[in-house]
Structure 1
Amino acid sequence: MAIEQAKISVGDLQRGMFVSRLDRPWARTPFALQGFYIRDLEEIRQLQKHCRYVYVDVHKTVGSAGIALRRLLDGSCGKQSRAASHVVIPCRPVTVVHGTYPPPQPARREAGNARKLHGQILQGMGEVMALVASNRPLPLRQVNRVVEDLVESVLRSPDAFTWLARVRHRDEYTYSHSVRASIWAVVFGRHIGLSRQALLRLGVATLLKDVGKLSIAREILQMRHRDPRSELAYRNFVQHSVQLLATDAQLDPEVIRVVQCHCERHDGSGYPAGLRGDKIPVLSRLCGIVTFYDEATNPRGASQPIAPSRAVAQLYDLRGVTYQEQLVVEFIQAIGLYPTGTQVELSSGEVGVVVEQNYGRRLRPKVMIVLDGHKRQLSKPRLFDLAAAEDRAEKLIERGKMGARKKIRILRDIEPGAYPEVDVAAVRDYYLFKGRGQLSRLISHLAN
């Protein structure tokens, strides 16, 4: 069905309007994620406090507000008001089945296997790129096999591989982006309940989507701002990728289709065919989102990744336009506002690293604290489970033994590099592979 929305200034809101989107992430406001009807003036005041504009579902809006809005957008008043802009993009909701797979195992249990597989994927991609450069057949059977193992590992424990996608190393390979994006894609697909076969197709396609870039001139690939002619030459990488993959008759055609359409965009602004909405395969839509997210968190030429909240905010601003809104919201839920590996500051002033998610309570992950409330280095890192701490605090509050303001929460995420003494890779190794060697390395780093 067509999604029909109107962009409305908060100064023009009325009772009876159905608010389907905000101009900022829902998690940063007191409102429900699913949207809501405006019932009274207090809700309008709250919207005016948190937003500049909102999107209103034209068909769900009721009463005199609904009649007036539909008349306005139908053009019966002569011309469209500057307060509202009409957005119609044909796109059916994607079937999402949460809880398809068993609850995740602890990351520590899967960490060793995930690290081994990560090394195999990097090695395999190195071989793929070398073969492409020498015009030799691609080892697609080996790629399929290692992605099958990746899928099974992520199904057991998404956090173990999320660590490997989040931590950036100095010796990055040119294809590290595709490896990270493939991990995000499988984590995303697991969250929405894709079948194993679909996860395999998505993982392989995301891993191989950029092989055609070896056919593009290096100077064009490295341009920060491409002129129209250079941009047109750059976009040819999609067709080059498709042609390379199509040489293997045994490769799943659906994988090639995902690669062919992963640069298409919800509003038709993508390439190579300018597809929009329903015309874009679902797996290609997922691939496009994870590609954007990884490129946003790891900007070209930057020495450090950026804080996830910035990348999420950029992605959220594109919902319903560049990317299907439903899938953007699902992806943010899949990785959480504070993905594993994120540096955070707590309301206590302490600084730590998110080491594992609490999947039922995404805003309350497990954090390894490394700096105290005065930003001084701890002699030994301390694991803090925000969900468990909140449960304890609630009991104390009920008994009158603690004030609600003393509950510890995440205040904000921190830009990587803001505290050079925080070594995220060392925290990861200490948490996942806990032992004397890792602790000594972490404490040694903190002491320097």
Structure 2
Amino acid sequence: MAIEQAKISVDDLQRGMFVSRLDKPWTRTPFALQGFYIRDLEEIRQLQKYCRFVYVDIHKTVGSAGVTLRRLMNASSASIGQGRGSSARTVITIPSRPVVISHKAYPPPQPVQREANTARKLHGQILYGMSEVMGLVASNRPLPVQQVNQVVEDLVESVLRSPDAFAWLARVRDKDEHTYSHSVRASIWAVLFGRHIGLTRRELVQLGVATLLKDVGKLAIEGEVLQMKQRDPRSELEYRKFVQHSVKMLAADPKIDPEVINIVRGHCERHDGSGYPSGLRGDKIPVLARMCGIVTFYDEATNPRGSSQPVAPSRAVAKLYDLRGIAYQEQLVVEFIQAIGLYPTGTQVELSTGEVGVVVEQTYDRRLRPKVMIILDREKRELSRPRLCDLAEVEDREQKLIERGKMSAQEKMSILRDIEPGAYPQVDAAAVRDSYLFRGGRLGQLLTRLTK
């Protein structure tokens, strides 16, 4: 099935348009996604810097922009092109009502350092709590439901104040990380996601608790089956029973919120009906369960089993994006990517200058312009004094120079790409985290030098 596209000048772009193709290769732009919805003016400004026109998917474009484009299409007054390779993908429409989104439900985030100590303390409490939960489940004793709910409520309040503080803890691995840290990381991503789309506090707690407890049923599965890298059909069927085991364990406790059980029951279902245990599809899957499925996939993609380091976020995002409209609802996939940013806090990046650093804090109204701690110079040599670079402020200064004719748009500093952790041994993201968030941490001298 061919994709119908309209050739649009970058000066005529509007929010809600789905950009499916550029007038130049994607690799020559900072856009990591080959196809995305325009969500804010910053994305339009970025497109205007790199392109003269783009191709917009008429049928995926939403809102008033979509109505206008389809009206022009029917009148045969739009320039239509065919996307390269577009006929190779068959598009299957699965009934799915749009999820109500509210990006302004909560106040702007506080500075990350203000929340860092609280977040670190809570993270330790969650890890300890999960250790206790797993021990109790293994011995068939009641779950500490009240304590789990309380720690997730505290997590929600912390993320509402400053998402970046917990994003650091989800992104950067420590050497003594526990085996159940996947559930903890996924729970953090879930609450970050929920904050972004404007879930209520109660829904955030339900989603956080469910994501934290979704794997308790794996204790009822043979360890040999859990550890298999490639499962044969019989082993795969045995593995999939963990969902029913989790539901049964949680349902046995009358203090567990029924909505938490519904999320756990549905988090392995897939948009196209290919999931389990019931093969639900589209709107039959609860919204919070769909979100739990997305964050679970993302964390497993960024932290492959058996790997000592997480992978670059762009790889995980690309895998997730390829499954939009198939395994996961497209709208929610796009919103999740918007929630974490193309370069999540803790990501190692290379700048257009050749310098290498770590994203230390997001700029929430300009996601492509975070704050970066630069560790290596353009020759990839370690700096004697790491340098904090606020790309949003840099862009503002450079824009003034461009307006005065003192530099060209092509010379502007930007993030060129993200880097696999471990590619440069001199870059220790955990050390950067501790020095940036916690003055006096194990590399407190780094921040001391920076602020002299």
Letter in 2 for 1:337: L
Q: CA deviation at 1:63?
A: 2.9
Q: Counterpart of 1:220?
A: 225
Q: Counterpart of 1:40?
A: none
Note if 1:378 corresponds to 2:383.
yes
Q: 1:421 aligns with which of 411, 419, 426?
A: 426
1:169-208 superposed matches below 5 A: 169-208=174-213
- Work out the CA distance in 2 between the residues paired with 1:360 and 1:131: 44
Render the CA deviation track for 1:61-87: whole Å, top value 9, x for unaligned.
833889xxxxxxxxxxxxxx9767341
Letter in 2 for 1:184: W
Tell me if the contact between 2:357 and 2:373 (Cα under 8 Å) persists in the aligned partners: yes
CA 1:322 to 1:283, structure 2 compared with 1: closer, same or farther past 3 Å? same
- Work out the CA distance in 2 between the residues paired with 1:428 and 1:14: 44
Q: CA deviation at 1:26?
A: 6.8
Q: CA deviation at 1:396?
A: 1.5
Tell me if the contact between 2:317 and 2:337 (Cα under 8 Å) persists in the aligned partners: yes
Note if 1:141 corresponds to 2:141.
no
Q: Counterpart of 2:322?
A: 317
| Identity over aligned pairs, percent | 68
1:270-349 superposed matches below 5 A: 270-349=275-354
Q: Counterpart of 1:63?
A: 74
Q: CA deviation at 1:250?
A: 1.6
Note if 1:159 corresponds to 2:191.
no
Letter in 2 for 1:369: I
Tell me if the contact between 2:351 and 2:415 (Cα under 8 Å) persists in the aligned partners: yes
CA 1:132 to 1:418, structure 2 compared with 1: closer, same or farther past 3 Å? same
Tell me if the contact between 1:267 and 1:321 (Cα under 8 Å) persists in the aligned partners: yes
- Listed as ranges, the gaps of 5+ residues in structure 2 are 9-15, 41-50, 62-66, 78-85
Tell me if the contact between 2:357 and 2:376 (Cα under 8 Å) persists in the aligned partners: yes
Letter in 1 for 2:148: V
Tell me if the contact between 1:114 and 1:153 (Cα under 8 Å) persists in the aligned partners: yes
- Work out the CA distance in 2 between the residues paired with 1:271 and 1:182: 21
Note if 1:408 corresponds to 2:413.
yes
TM-score of the superposition, structure 1-length normalised?
0.85
- Work out the CA distance in 2 between the residues paired with 1:303 and 1:442: 27
Render the CA deviation track for 1:319-364: whole Å, top value 9, x for unaligned.
0110000000000000000000000000111100000000000000
Q: CA deviation at 1:169?
A: 1.8
Q: Counterpart of 2:11?
A: none
Query: What secondary structure is seen at the aligned counterpart in 2 of 1:204?
Result: helix
Q: CA deviation at 1:88?
A: 2.0
CA 1:142 to 1:429, structure 2 compared with 1: closer, same or farther past 3 Å? same
The size of the alignment, in residue pairs, is: 410
Letter in 2 for 1:263: C
Tell me if the contact between 2:353 and 2:413 (Cα under 8 Å) persists in the aligned partners: yes
- Work out the CA distance in 2 between the residues paired with 1:84 and 1:215: 40
Render the CA deviation track for 1:165-211: whole Å, top value 9, x for unaligned.
00112222121000000000000000000000000000000000000
Note if 1:352 corresponds to 2:357.
yes
Q: Counterpart of 1:33?
A: 38
- Work out the CA distance in 1 between the residues paired with 2:390 and 2:222: 49
- Listed as ranges, the gaps of 5+ residues in structure 1 are 1-5, 36-42, 67-80
Query: What secondary structure is seen at the aligned counterpart in 2 of 1:113?
Result: helix
Letter in 1 for 2:74: G
Query: What secondary structure is seen at the aligned counterpart in 1 of 2:360?
Result: strand
Q: CA deviation at 1:403?
A: 2.8
Query: What secondary structure is seen at the aligned counterpart in 2 of 1:401?
Result: coil
- Work out the CA distance in 2 between the residues paired with 1:188 and 1:328: 10
1:119-130 superposed matches below 5 A: 119-130=124-135
CA 1:117 to 1:19, structure 2 compared with 1: closer, same or farther past 3 Å? closer
TM-score of the superposition, structure 2-length normalised?
0.84
Query: What secondary structure is seen at the aligned counterpart in 1 of 2:290?
Result: helix
Query: What's the C-alpha RMSD, in Å, of the aligned pairs?
Result: 3.0
- Work out the CA distance in 1 between the residues paired with 2:408 and 2:197: 38
Tell me if the contact between 2:363 and 2:370 (Cα under 8 Å) persists in the aligned partners: yes
- Work out the CA distance in 2 between the residues paired with 1:314 and 1:55: 24
Q: Counterpart of 1:361?
A: 366
Tell me if the contact between 2:207 and 2:292 (Cα under 8 Å) persists in the aligned partners: yes
Q: Counterpart of 1:267?
A: 272
CA 1:405 to 1:381, structure 2 compared with 1: closer, same or farther past 3 Å? same
CA 1:392 to 1:19, structure 2 compared with 1: closer, same or farther past 3 Å? closer
Q: CA deviation at 1:33?
A: 2.4
Q: CA deviation at 1:22?
A: 3.8
- Work out the CA distance in 1 between the residues paired with 2:349 and 2:221: 39
Q: Counterpart of 1:76?
A: none
Query: What secondary structure is seen at the aligned counterpart in 2 of 1:96?
Result: coil
- Work out the CA distance in 2 between the residues paired with 1:401 and 1:83: 46
Letter in 1 for 2:153: E
Letter in 1 for 2:389: F
Q: Counterpart of 2:98?
A: 93
Query: What secondary structure is seen at the aligned counterpart in 2 of 1:190?
Result: helix
Q: Counterpart of 2:395?
A: 390
Query: What secondary structure is seen at the aligned counterpart in 2 of 1:352?
Result: strand
